[in-house]
Every structure is written in structure tokens, then in C-alpha cells.
Structure 1
Amino acid sequence: MAQTSSDNVRTFVVADDDDGIRLDRWFKRHLPDVSFNIVSRWARTGQLRLDGKRVAPGDRIEAGQTLRVPPAEAAPAEGPGAKPKRIITPLTEDEEAFVREMVMAKGRDWYVLNKPPGLATQGGTKTNQHLDRLLDGLANDEGQRPKLVHRLDKDTSGVLLVARTAKAAAHFAKAFSGRTARKVYWALITGVPSREEGMIDAPLAKQPGTGGEKMHVDEENGLPAKTRYRLIERAGNRAAWVELQPLTGRTHQLRAHMAAIGHPIVGDAKYGGADAFLTGGISRKLHLHARRLKIDGTDGKPIDHTADLPAHFEESLATLGFDRMLGEMLPLDNPDPAKSPETKAKRTAAHAKAYRKARKGERRSRGGSTPEKPARKPRRK
């Protein structure tokens, strides 16, 4: 609820749904016409107050606090050099149906979507159709719309979580930033890595001259970036189907890392150039899919969902002769096959079987020498 004084200063009380969010996010949600630069200037000059105290755009706000906002500033005069106003158009029935079809599962304060390839997560220059806009189609009866808490590249498909309340958004955002959320991607890559599984540890930075649109490995100035990969199946030396787990969350991390080791993701012209494409009827679309997401909900219970592949990825698997059943994932906490519960159980069973067989031979020998127990195989490191 907003109140306006005689000098047009506005006063707002922070609602429960906004508890814990950043102040600049509050403005984007409730006063979208106020730019970040204006908010920063108000804060810098002391015109913006929270419970009577100065506040910065990045500060977190709490429910019940009182926010003092200066009078709205007049819009700049329109002219030849003025930027056109952004027009927000309501969703059509087809657009509402489109976003509802993406919903794989929902909870009290979240939705899990399967984002199709080709749909941007957020808007930008010349990008008017994006998921953030379509989320209006999932608004509740009070008009509250879900909130993005992470993103996927435009041409990457798969699991994407959105929060239905501000409190849930803060919870999930913390989980993603703290790396407690576990994500598994599937990708088709050109060529075959020399090792069946490994860790790519290569710092990433924005590549100069690309306007921040492309990343590259930069050992001196890059931010830490780690990706675990595992080979699922290979098509000779031509291509491979791999499972990828990003242990950090850098922009374009999986794409940049796979290209850096000489095996770009199929269809990724930005990082692989002409080497990222396969002949023989393989789609030229990007073959990167967020297959699975596991994250703790606000109630402590795990949210764990798997997204079906888009049509072009499924067709490429079939064309290359890959066995779809081999894609069943290992447990997220046991990425090394040698350390998985299934492998350990098989080894234990094999050892027990060998021991029983030796004991049976001992009984048949009727007093013969007692055989030694089979030597335990050395554990793989």
C-alpha cells in the first residue's frame, strides 16, 4: 500500500511477498518505470530511505519496513533521438497455452518447466518474445506471477525452475548461488574425449572484442569454472554423447569448456565454428539439454525432475545409433562409476560368490587343505 504526502513523496510498506529481496528488485517489480540509474542516484543523494535510514540499491529489505520514495520524475521529452517506449502487450490465448504446456510439475511455491530450444529466458535487445514475459500466463488469482531464479541459454532446452513467491525466489536463488543445487546436462559433442570421464578446470572470462557475448579460457583473469563430464556412448570417432555436470555457474560454461578441450557441442557455431556440425542428416540446432535438476524446496524436501529431450536431439541419437537406455544417469552424488552404489554392490556380490564357491570346494575335498579366501581386488582410486 502506497501513501503520498503533500510534496508527492511516496511511502510504501514492504509486503510479506517481498521479504528478503534486494531493493533494486523491488523497484523492478513494483515501479518498473524507475530505472536503476534513478534508484542509484536517489540512494546516493539520500532521497531514498528505509525506516528513515539511507539505503543502497543492493540492500535486502524486510517485510514491514517503510520505504520512502521521492516523487516520480518527469519522462524525457520525445524527439528524434529518444528511445521508443517499451510496450507490454497481454498474452494471447496461444501464448498462455504454450507456457502452460511447459509445466512438468508444480508445488506450493514453485513450477518446474521444460523450456524448448529457441526461447530466450529473458528479454533483451531485439528480444521481445521470452519466457519471462510468458510467465504472466502462470500468474495466480491475485495476479502474482512466477519469478525466474536461474536461466538457460536461448538455444539450450530442458529443466528450468521458477518460484511462485518472493520468499521461494530468495530461497532458490541462494541455493543456485551457493551451488547446492545439482544440475545434469546431456550433450552431443564432435569427436571423442581421450578419457571416458574427467574434470575440466579452466577459468573463464569475457572474450575481448565480443561485447561480453562470448567467453574464453583465461588462466590469469578468468573466474574459476569447473565441469565434470562422463562419456555415455560414442559413435566411432565421429561423435559422443556425454553427461555434463557444471560445478560452477559461469556464462556459457559448458559450451566454452567443451570447445576448449577440442570437442565442441554439436550445433554450437559460436564456440565451435564449422567444426561443431556433423553431416549425415544431423540437425544443425544446438544439442545441449538440461536433463535433470535436484534442489531442496523451502520445506526441506528435494525437488528432483527430469526433462524429456526435444525432437531434434532425439532424432540425432537415433541417427547416430545410440542406445537410449544407456542415458540413465548415475546418482548425482556418485558421478564416478567405480564409486557408485551399484558398482560396489556388484563387487561385493562377486566376492561373496567366489568365497562360497571356494568353501564348497573345501567341503568336497573331505579333509583336504583349506583353500585361501580369494584375494580382495584392490580398490580403484
Structure 2
Amino acid sequence: MEPQNDPDLQENELFEHFNTIASKGQEPLRVDKFLMNFIENATRNKIQQAAKSGHIWVNDVIVKQNYKVKAGDEVKVLFEHPPHENLLVPEDIPIDIVYEDDVLLVVNKPAGMVVHPGHGNYSGTLINALLHHIENLPVNSNERPGLVHRIDKDTSGLLVVAKTEAAMTHLSKQFFDKTSEREYVAIVWGNMEEDEGTVEGHIARHPKNRLQMHVFPEGDQGKEAVTHYKVIERLGYLTLVSCKLETGRTHQIRVHMKYIGHTLFNDERYGGEKILKGTTFTKYKQFVENAFKILPRQALHAKTLGFIHPVTKKKMQFDSEIPKDMAECIEKWRDYTKHSQ
């Protein structure tokens, strides 16, 4: 093999490296389309640029973007962009600080803001804003300053951030030991039969779509995940629900709700942007489309957060209002339900 074609020789010059093996059931599919299913936040253009630069390999051979991936193929891709330390740049971005003292702060993150820099999101993140606000944030095991936990880009709500190494260790242990308290409010498709319940099922990456997580009820894959839910209000074809996390897995509420047949409203990644419940009337379809416009993201808000303060050892409890887009959507459905009975 020519030296320039050897991915291991080039890997040190490139920031991100994805490696996956196409599953047994993989139908022949262009490699650029295949990678769109696997790489979060990567645009088709970004993948095509990688192909033109000779940075996509299948079975250790450089391929063009029109190569058809088949079952069993090992697909590898690298991207060129700034080194990791260059991503951690302070930026003067306003943040909603709910509470702050010498060792921690609690922020109310708006929907649309990415928590930390990564592929496709190199600036404008919560970490960039925090680094401007605080000079020396401690770094966690993933080299993410201040972070004890995180929430998805299009989920709004409360996050605690550590300002010292000791606070980070203490808070991280609370999340690991499941002693922290987190309640989310979600709007889900369908009228939930039970007023309350618990969803249990290990969560891991989806075997075919790497952008999704998936429930493995037998527990043969993934990590244990437990979500307790309670109906707040029934909105006809939707339900407003409270979800309390016992564990904190990636996309946990989104995946667990889909698993029990109640996908989050307008959750595009998990199919909630389609009309999953309701009538076939044109007027209804138009109404739902308008509701999607009011709430152009998954209907999920991290409403409350509780933990023991690392220094005072006092119980800290924080609550946040449901954001305007979710509140307007709820009101719209209340009105619809009232007039359609």
C-alpha cells in the first residue's frame, strides 16, 4: 500500500476518526449516504469533501463517494478541522445563570445551544460561553471543562457546572450513584393509558442507525436505564408528561418514550416529526404542522434539578419555567382539545 493511502499514517493529522462495520443486513448503499446515518452533525458536503481528500477508506482502501457499501465492509473516515484545544475558546455569549457560588453554577440552557464543542459545532456552545465567564474550569475525564452531565442540543433546561476539581468529583459521584434528582417535562404522541409508570430497558447505539439510541430489553447490550413517568395533562392526541431519571443515558427519555409507543412530539431523530396520532382531516394536518412551527424541536425540557452541595452538604433544589415554545404548543393543543370534544 502507498504510504499516503495508509490511514494510520494520516490519522495524527486529522481530528476525528470514525470506524464501523456494515451490518449483515446492509443493502448496497453509496458510502456518502451510508455515513450520513452514522456521523452526527456531518453534512453531505463535509462527507464529500472527505472523499475528495482521500479520507474515506473501505476495507483499508481509499474509495470515492459513490462506492457502494456492502454487508461486512469496514468503513473508516477522518475529517480535517482544528485540534481539540483550539475548540475550547472563550466566547462572549449570554447565558442564563440561575445560581452561582465559589464552587458551582446552575444554568438554564436554551434549546438550540450545543453543550460542548465537537464535530460540526466548533463555536457558540455552552462551554465556549462558560470559559468566558470563568477563567479556570476543571476538566472531566472526557476533557470537557466543568461538565458533570449534559443535555441534548434541542433540549432546554437546567445543568449544574463545577468550578473546582473537588466540586466536579463530588457532583459526578452523585450522578453516578443516582442520588441527584432530575425531572423533565415532555410532550409525547398518544394518550397514555396509565397515569404513571416506569420504563426499564438497557440503552445502546442503534445497530443500523448510529445517530439513534435503541432499547435492548433483554439487557444483552448497552447500559441499564430507568425512567419514571407521570401524566401531568392529557391533550387529546398528545400527553404532557413528567419524567424522572434514575439513570442518565444518551437520549434516555426520547428512546424510552418511543419504546413504549409515545415518541416525543416533533422529535425528528426518532420519528416524532410525523403525525403519529389523530385524524386524517386536512384541517387537523394543518393544525399539527402549525404546532410543529411553534415548537421546531423535540418537546423536552429539563425542568428541575436537585443535588447535595459539595461544600455546605445542603440539599440544593432548582426549578425552571417551561420555555415559551413548549408553553405555546401546550396551550394550542389545550385549545384544540377543548373545541374538538
Q: What interval of TM-score do these two structures reach, taking the shorter chain for normalisation?
A: 0.5 to 0.7
Evaluate the alpha carbon distance shift between residue 174 and residue 201 of structure 1 in structure 2; reply closer, same or farther with a 3 A threshold.
Answer: same
Q: Determine which structure has greater relative contact order: mean sequence separation of CA pairs < 8 Å that are 6+ residues apart, divided by chain length.
A: 2
- 1:284 pairs with 296, 303, 320, which one? 296
Which structure 2 segments of 5+ residues have no match? Answer: 1-12, 16-52, 56-78, 139-144, 278-286, 336-341
TM-score when normalising by structure 1 = 0.58
Matched residue type, 1:183:
R
- 2:316 pairs with 287, 300, 303, which one? 303
Q: What fraction of aligned residue pairs are identical, expressed as a percent?
A: 30
The separation in 1 between residues aligned to 2:208 and 2:154, in whole angstroms, is 23
1:216 aligns to 2:211 (yes or no): no
Q: Tell me the secondary structure at the aligned position of residue 258 of structure 1.
A: helix
Which structure 1 segments of 5+ residues have no match? Answer: 1-32, 36-78, 323-381
The separation in 2 between residues aligned to 1:92 and 1:121, in whole angstroms, is 13
Q: Which residue of 2 aligns with 1:239?
A: 238
Matched residue type, 1:224:
E
* 1:109-188 equivalent positions in 2, closer than 5 A: 109-129=103-123, 130-140=125-135, 143-144=136-137, 147-188=146-187
The separation in 2 between residues aligned to 1:321 and 1:270, in whole angstroms, is 26
The separation in 1 between residues aligned to 2:81 and 2:296, in whole angstroms, is 35
Is the 8 Å Cα contact of residues 268 and 297 (structure 2) preserved in structure 1?
no
Q: Which residue of 2 aligns with 1:199?
A: 198
Is the 8 Å Cα contact of residues 184 and 245 (structure 1) preserved in structure 2?
yes
Deviation per residue, 1:302-348 (Å, 9 max, x gap): 111112222211111221228xxxxxxxxxxxxxxxxxxxxxxxxxx
Evaluate the alpha carbon distance shift between residue 123 and residue 84 of structure 1 in structure 2; reply closer, same or farther with a 3 A threshold.
Answer: closer
Greater share of strand: 2
Matched residue type, 1:134:
A
The separation in 2 between residues aligned to 1:245 and 1:92, in whole angstroms, is 33
The separation in 1 between residues aligned to 2:81 and 2:300, in whole angstroms, is 36
Q: Which residue of 1 aligns with 2:80?
A: 83
The separation in 2 between residues aligned to 1:116 and 1:285, in whole angstroms, is 12
Q: Tell me the secondary structure at the aligned position of residue 271 of structure 2.
A: helix
The separation in 1 between residues aligned to 2:159 and 2:112, in whole angstroms, is 14
1:319 aligns to 2:332 (yes or no): yes
Q: Tell me the secondary structure at the aligned position of residue 261 of structure 2.
A: coil
Evaluate the alpha carbon distance shift between residue 259 and residue 157 of structure 1 in structure 2; reply closer, same or farther with a 3 A threshold.
Answer: same
TM-score when normalising by structure 2 = 0.64
Q: Tell me the secondary structure at the aligned position of residue 321 of structure 1.
A: helix
Is the 8 Å Cα contact of residues 116 and 158 (structure 1) preserved in structure 2?
yes
Shift of 1:183: 0.4
- 1:103 pairs with 97, 114, 118, which one? 97
Is the 8 Å Cα contact of residues 206 and 215 (structure 1) preserved in structure 2?
yes
Matched residue type, 1:281:
N
The separation in 2 between residues aligned to 1:90 and 1:198, in whole angstroms, is 43
Shift of 1:111: 0.5
Q: Tell me the secondary structure at the aligned position of residue 183 of structure 2.
A: strand
Evaluate the alpha carbon distance shift between residue 227 and residue 85 of structure 1 in structure 2; reply closer, same or farther with a 3 A threshold.
Answer: closer
Matched residue type, 1:287:
A
Shift of 1:112: 0.5
Matched residue type, 2:319:
T
The separation in 2 between residues aligned to 1:144 and 1:132, in whole angstroms, is 10
Shift of 1:261: 0.9
The separation in 1 between residues aligned to 2:289 and 2:268, in whole angstroms, is 18
Equivalenced residue count is 239
Report the structure number with the largest CA radius of gyration: 1
Q: Tell me the secondary structure at the aligned position of residue 148 of structure 1.
A: coil
Matched residue type, 2:111:
P
Matched residue type, 1:297:
H
Is the 8 Å Cα contact of residues 185 and 289 (structure 1) preserved in structure 2?
yes
Q: Tell me the secondary structure at the aligned position of residue 240 of structure 1.
A: strand
Shift of 1:83: 3.4
Shift of 1:209: 2.5
Evaluate the alpha carbon distance shift between residue 92 and residue 201 of structure 1 in structure 2; reply closer, same or farther with a 3 A threshold.
Answer: closer
